[in-house]
């Protein structure tokens, strides 16, 4: 059996973070009572005229610049004509032959290798409404989403992506960039970021492209990866059996982890694109572009490089923290306040991440603030509490949102500095364990000392400093 190589193109749609919709003043927000955020324009009433949302255009220019695109100075809008019940106008306003951004790229990293993925276009359009199919052959339409500004980002042809891992890495990187520059909230589960990979296979070593299929309804990184893996396997099996691959759109069944045939793909000529007569072409000036460039937030790649050099983090830690803008913001604030970046990162990536994950809480809603976490790190560093106590303390902070200093005071969790008190505990433990003492003293079994240290730490409820305990035990054993 020959070895096959996947060829994957990515079409991603991102709902833009604007106050109002693309061509009217209706609120742009997820959810809401169905059909309450609509007006004659987004309902597609005859004679209603669209008015361009400048902020949406700014977002697309910002994205195009962040993705290293050239900006089309005379970008324009076109009508893409088709009928579907979630599209009351019978056409979608989109950009056909003059998209705002062209010829860009982003870099991904898979297995330590950096790879450049070329981007063909970034364009602006409007979202459709949503259909709900309920039992008993009834369907409902909610037009709250109709006319929400939508950006489409398409990778270059022929595609650079040749594995499900690369496709996943591309999508993760794209999401990071979009959220860092504030144009999209990146919530795949709410459909704010949607991805439709098209997949074909070819024998390794050949350059002919095979028939491709497009996968829809993928709403997580995992689904994108599994969907592509499944499709590659399915196409390889068909090819081996001498059967033809049909060009079509396939859905993704997440429960069964399979793709299934939805409909054969329409050719683009069937959309009968023509210039949108109700909107003037854009005139994107140098000043406009420069203004956006000047206000561009720090991009993920440069921020990652900066937190490595500024805080001395490992590339692994930096890559972890950079995945979410809110996470790296949280880290930087904590690191600055605590003065110990490495220890701050460790607590964020281990105990805090676990608590947030168990509680299904995003970092931006963390009950522990950066200031409180920084205070905890300082309490550890100045010897007020032990690392062991801190493990319990962080749980208490998470549950109560109370400052760590107050909790430590209230619970009496300060490290015992009084050596007399530790001596008393050591003496008691030694008196309780004569057999261990004789093993150490007479048989030289020094490894048994660890047991004594453990017992003293336990007796001190974790509040003794293990170094003090070790030293005092040594003194008593010699004495
Ligand atoms: Zn409206």
User: What pLDDT sits at residue 265?
Assistant: 60
Work out the pLDDT band at 419, boundaries 50, 70, 90: confident
Tell me the Cα Rg of the chain: 30
Asked if residue 132 has pLDDT above 60, the reply is: yes
- The predicted model gives 352-363 an average pLDDT of 96
Contact 192, 3 (CB under 8 A): no
Q: Quote the ligand 1 centre to 125 CA distance (angstroms).
A: 15
Each domain of the chain, given as residue ranges in start order, spans 9-200+262-288, 298-411, 419-478
Q: Quote the ligand 1 centre to 275 CA distance (angstroms).
A: 22
Q: Quote the ligand 1 centre to 171 CA distance (angstroms).
A: 30
Q: Quote the ligand 1 centre to 279 CA distance (angstroms).
A: 16
Asked if residue 14 has pLDDT above 60, the reply is: yes
User: What pLDDT sits at residue 477?
Assistant: 84
User: What pLDDT sits at residue 288?
Assistant: 98
SS3 state at 415: coil
Q: Quote the ligand 1 centre to 28 CA distance (angstroms).
A: 9
Q: Quote the ligand 1 centre to 147 CA distance (angstroms).
A: 7
Q: For residues 136 and 143, which has the higher predicted lDDT (pLDDT)?
A: 143
User: What pLDDT sits at residue 150?
Assistant: 98
- The predicted model gives 408-432 an average pLDDT of 89
Q: Quote the ligand 1 centre to 55 CA distance (angstroms).
A: 16
User: What pLDDT sits at residue 266?
Assistant: 55
- Per CATH, domain 419-478 is 3.40.250.10: no
Q: Quote the ligand 1 centre to 18 CA distance (angstroms).
A: 13
User: What pLDDT sits at residue 41?
Assistant: 96
- The predicted model gives 182-200 an average pLDDT of 95
HSE-CB at 29 with a 13 A cutoff on CA atoms is 11
**Cα gap 81→274, rounded to integer Å:** 9
Q: Quote the ligand 1 centre to 464 CA distance (angstroms).
A: 66
Asked if residue 478 has pLDDT above 80, the reply is: no
Asked if residue 479 has pLDDT above 70, the reply is: no
Q: Quote the ligand 1 centre to 192 CA distance (angstroms).
A: 19
319-325, long-range: CB < 8 A, 24+ apart = 319/109, 320/349, 321/345, 321/348, 321/349, 322/176, 323/172, 323/176, 324/176, 324/179, 324/363, 325/176, 325/179, 325/180
User: What pLDDT sits at residue 245?
Assistant: 92
Q: Quote the ligand 1 centre to 121 CA distance (angstroms).
A: 27
Q: Quote the ligand 1 centre to 134 CA distance (angstroms).
A: 26
Identify which of 99, 96, 94 has the alpha carbon closest to the alpha carbon of residue 119. 99
pLDDT tens for each residue of 235-280: 999 999 999 999 999 999 999 999 999 877 655 568 899 999 999 9
Contact 60, 288 (CB under 8 A): no
Q: Which residues contact 32 (CB under 8 A, 6 or more apart)?
A: 144
- The predicted model gives 159-186 an average pLDDT of 97
Identify which of 151, 98, 154, 153 has the alpha carbon closest to the alpha carbon of residue 125. 151
Q: Quote the ligand 1 centre to 126 CA distance (angstroms).
A: 12
pLDDT tens for each residue of 371-403: 999 999 999 999 899 888 999 999 999 999 999
Beta-strand runs (E) in 39-90: 70-71, 78-81
pLDDT tens for each residue of 360-373: 999 999 999 999 99
Beta-strand runs (E) in 47-192: 70-71, 78-81, 91-94, 101-110, 113-126, 130-134, 138-142, 149-155
**Cα gap 108→159, rounded to integer Å:** 14
Helix (H) or strand (E) holding 449: helix 449-459
**Cα gap 159→8, rounded to integer Å:** 6
- The predicted model gives 175-189 an average pLDDT of 96
DSSP 447: G
Share of residues in the chain with pLDDT > 70 (%): 99
Helix (H) or strand (E) holding 214: strand 213-215
pLDDT tens for each residue of 305-326: 999 999 999 999 999 999 999 9
User: What pLDDT sits at residue 305?
Assistant: 96
Q: Quote the ligand 1 centre to 139 CA distance (angstroms).
A: 22
**Cα gap 296→16, rounded to integer Å:** 16
pLDDT tens for each residue of 55-108: 999 999 999 999 999 999 999 999 999 999 999 999 999 999 999 999 999 999
């Amino acid at each position: 059996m020959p070895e096959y190589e996947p060829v994957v193109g990515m079409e991603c749609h991102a709902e833009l973070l604007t106050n109002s919709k693309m061509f009217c003043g209706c609120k742009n927000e997820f959810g809401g009572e169905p059909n309450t955020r609509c007006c004659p324009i987004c309902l597609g009433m005859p004679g209603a005229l669209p008015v361009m949302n400048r902020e949406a255009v700014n977002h697309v220019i910002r994205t195009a610049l962040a993705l290293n695109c050239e900006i089309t100075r005379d970008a324009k809008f076109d009508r893409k004509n088709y009928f579907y019940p979630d599209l009351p106008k019978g056409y979608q306003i989109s950009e056909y032959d003059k998209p705002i951004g062209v010829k860009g790229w982003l870099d991904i990293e898979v297995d330590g290798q950096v790879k450049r993925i070329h981007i063909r276009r970034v364009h602006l359009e409007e979202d459709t409404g949503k259909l709900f199919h309920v039992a008993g052959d009834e369907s409902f339409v909610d037009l709250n989403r109709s006319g929400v500004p939508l950006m489409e980002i398409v990778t270059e042809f022929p595609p650079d992506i040749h594995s499900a891992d690369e496709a996943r890495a591309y999508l993760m990187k794209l999401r990071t960039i979009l959220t860092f520059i504030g144009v999209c909230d990146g919530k795949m589960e709410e459909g704010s970021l949607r991805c439709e990979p098209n997949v074909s296979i070819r024998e390794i070593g050949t350059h002919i492209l095979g028939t491709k299929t497009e996968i829809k309804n993928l709403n997580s990184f995992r689904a994108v990866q599994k969907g592509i893996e499944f499709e590659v396997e399915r196409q390889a099996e068909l090819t081996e059996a001498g059967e033809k691959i049909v060009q079509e759109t396939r859905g993704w069944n997440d429960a069964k982890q399979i793709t299934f045939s939805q409909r054969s793909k329409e050719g683009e000529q069937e959309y009968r694109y023509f210039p949108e007569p109700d909107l003037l072409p854009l005139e994107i000036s140098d000043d406009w572009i420069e203004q956006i460039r000047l206000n561009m937030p720090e991009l993920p790649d440069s921020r990652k490089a900066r937190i490595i050099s500024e805080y001395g983090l490992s590339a692994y830690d930096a890559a972890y923290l950079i995945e979410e803008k809110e996470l790296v913001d949280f880290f930087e604030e904590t690191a600055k306040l605590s003065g110990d970046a490495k220890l701050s990162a460790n607590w964020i990536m281990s105990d805090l991440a676990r608590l947030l994950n168990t509680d299904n809480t995003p970092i931006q809603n963390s009950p522990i603030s950066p200031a409180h976490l920084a205070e905890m790190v300082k309490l550890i560093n100045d010897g007020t509490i032990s690392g062991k106590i801190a493990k319990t303390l962080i749980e208490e902070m998470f549950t109560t949102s109370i400052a760590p200093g107050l909790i430590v005071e209230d619970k009496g969790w300060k490290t015992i500095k009084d050596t007399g008190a530790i001596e008393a505990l050591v003496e008691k433990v030694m008196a309780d364990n004569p057999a261990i003492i004789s093993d150490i003293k007479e048989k030289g079994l020094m490894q048994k000392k660890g047991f004594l240290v453990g017992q003293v730490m336990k007796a001190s409820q974790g509040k003794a400093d293990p170094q003090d305990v070790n030293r005092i035990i040594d003194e008593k054993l010699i004495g």
